Structure 1
């Protein structure tokens, strides 16, 4: 069931996610040929300060020196693919990129 949901999600966002150029590719940490469901998780964006920026920057690589390509807000769900030094490679409706893991919570592996 989860594999089917992930497959449908990939079809829905595949073309938009593929269109964005990332400076650091997001490489799954497992062998996708064996088990797609084990290669990702789902998290919710939470904890953003509404009196601050109020968004989570999505970047082209795992760090603040990479270009910002999108913004996510509280309660948005993302698929997590891999991580580097606190930054998480994510997919979400409309794109793909890197976001800091401090604001990705309620994760389901």
Structure 2
């Protein structure tokens, strides 16, 4: 969009001297980061999918900003959605999803998960571990 179009749009949206600007798109913010660990001869994650959600229930599994229901809900995943599984904290699993070209290759040093895709925490009761 050119500067003149942006200015025209801002002027068109002004009301009583106030300019209404669209809210910036926020990155997915985690209260507790999902970590991947350097463990001898092991990949950093496993593969799984969402399973067991009842059709007469909510129909989704909440993705949260930390390992617990007290953390804010960031998103929803559904039966058969694919997940990359990282660490467990109690009954919660740190996951990535909608992650193109995901790799669970070994790493030399522990780090926060930094792959492209969405991440968060889900309750492990509705996660089927498939590989890893």
Alignment TM class, shorter chain as reference: 0.7 to 0.9
* Residues 1:27 and 1:20: Cα distance change in structure 2 (over 3 Å): same
Q: Does 1:47 align with 2:52?
A: yes
- Map residues 9-88 of structure 1 onto 2, 5 A cutoff: 19-28=27-36, 30-31=37-38, 38-88=43-93
Structure 1 gaps, min length 5: 1-18
- Write 1 or 2 for the structure with the bigger share of helix: 1
2:129 & 2:70 partners in 1: Cα distance? 27
Structure 2 gaps, min length 5: 1-26, 99-116
Following TM superposition, where does structure 1 have runs of at least 4 consecutive aligned residues deviating by more than 6 angstroms? none
Q: State the shift of 1:27 in Å.
A: 1.2
1:69 & 1:107 partners in 2: Cα distance? 24
1:86 & 1:38 partners in 2: Cα distance? 21
Q: Structure 1 length normalisation: TM-score? A: 0.75
Q: Structure 2 length normalisation: TM-score? A: 0.62
* Higher CA-based Rg: 2
**Over aligned residue pairs, what C-alpha RMSD do you find?**
1.6
